[in-house]
Amino acid sequence: MPNPIDSEQVLQMSRGFWTSRLILTAAELDLFDRLPASAEEVADGAGWDTGALTVLLDALTALQLIEKQDEIYSVAPSIAPGLGKDPDASVLPMIGHYNSLWDKWSQLSHIIRNGREQVQFVFNRDETALQAFIGGMHVVGRETACKIISDLKPAWAGRLLDVGGASGTYALEFLKQVPGLSVTLFDLPGVIPMAEARIARAGAADRVRFVPGDFYHDTLPGGHDLVWLSAIIHQNSREQNRELFRKAHAALVPGGRIWIRDHIMDAARVHPSAGAVFAVNMLVATPGGSTYTFDEVVSDLASSGFTTPRMIRDGGQMDAVLEAVRP
């Protein structure tokens, strides 16, 4: 049993936003890319307040994100690739995504009082921002992808449909670990070129078919024996998921399987804890998204024609996988 939470821990959690705001602001101001330099040099070049910037830089130094030597600040070497501009290493696009959620989370009290039906959800990410976000998702997700596919390794699969496959993070892992597998990657037209480029660099383009489309509005390409839904169902309402499951069912051959990677909650909706908190993120950021219990996902799969549901991988960080079968 974990130790009981005390008042000091509650206070620590309550001021947790102090640390996150430091990092979000530094990323928003493109501060890490302006280093190494003194506070005066950065402030003069950007037209900022030197005193305020010095306070921020010193706080980031205390967090060990920045080093300070003779009044010159530089990014700590251990984290420099993650805070740099290399799209294959940088987590800055994901930090930018978290920054975009700041105002949404600030509406939580209003949503609790009035319901999210009273909130206008605006999705205005332009193509450049979308590509940066998806690139960031690849950086933070590739290690998890390697672990999951290594655990599951569907040697029986011949044709996989990766729905919402983004830049090909999971598609590439499937291809690496399952010889003879071919993949259909389905995603928005603005995303497909990213996937084509990444998979071409990996030398796997001859094993992948790229299909542009929107799974909310379009049918899914058929003839597959495995459908992969990765980190998708949490952004949807249950009604949207049932419709997506029906499309996935139609995309499978008889005997084919659907694998769903997401937070799969217990009946009490408090475990995994990361999933319980993520449900709040969906509450403030989407019109109908949430995290769902095993029974809820199974019920929605059954209504779409799937049978034999089971957990094939447990995980507490959106790395659980649920399987069901098209009879």
Query: Tokens representing 125?
Result: 């990410």
Are 273 and 181 in the same domain?
yes
Helix intervals (H) in the chain: 7-14, 16-28, 39-46, 50-62, 92-100, 102-105, 108-114, 127-152, 169-177, 192-201, 238-251, 273-285, 294-303
3-state SS, residue 266: coil
Q: Which of 234, 249, 263, 271 is catalytic?
A: 234
Q: Report yes or no on 264 lying in a domain.
A: yes
Query: Is residue 99, in this structure, part of any structural domain at all?
Result: no
Are residues 135 and 82 part of one domain?
no
Q: Estimate to the nearest angstrom the gap between the alpha carbon of 273 and the chain centroid.
A: 17
Residues 78 and 159 in one domain: no
Give how many domains the chain has, as a whole number.
2
Structural domain that includes position 36:
7-86
Closest CA to 167 of 210, 225, 224, 124: 210
Is the domain of 11 the same as that of 59?
Answer: yes
pLDDT at residue 123, rounded to an integer: 66
Task: Specify whether 110 is catalytic.
Answer: no
Q: Are residues 210 and 303 in the same domain?
A: yes
Q: Tell me whether residue 104 is in a domain.
A: no
At 325 the pLDDT is: 99
Q: What is the CATH number of the domain that holds 69?
A: 1.10.10.10
226 is a domain residue: yes
Q: What is the CATH number of the domain that holds 302?
A: 3.40.50.150
Query: Strand 307-313 and strand 292-293: pairing?
Result: unpaired
Among 45, 64, 86, identify where a domain stops.
86
**Residue 62 in 3-state DSSP?**
helix
Domain assignment of residue 286, yes or no: yes
What pLDDT sits at residue 1? 63
- For residue 58, tell me if it sits in a domain: yes
Q: What is the pLDDT of residue 124?
A: 62
Examine the fold and report which residue of 86, 109, 138 is the final residue of a domain before the chain moves on: 86
Same domain, 294 and 164: yes
d(CA 300, CA 258): 13
Q: Per residue of the chain (327 residues), what is the pLDDT tens digit?
A: 678 999 999 999 999 999 999 999 999 999 999 999 999 999 999 999 999 999 999 999 999 999 999 999 999 999 999 999 998 899 999 999 899 899 999 999 999 999 998 787 766 667 777 777 788 888 889 999 999 999 999 999 999 999 999 989 999 999 999 999 999 999 999 899 999 999 999 999 999 999 999 999 999 999 999 999 999 999 999 999 999 999 999 999 999 999 999 999 999 999 999 999 999 999 999 999 999 999 999 999 999 999 999 999 999 999 999 999 999
Domain boundary among 44, 65, 86: 86
Residues 151 and 212 in one domain: yes
Instruction: Indicate the residue type of 238.
Output: R
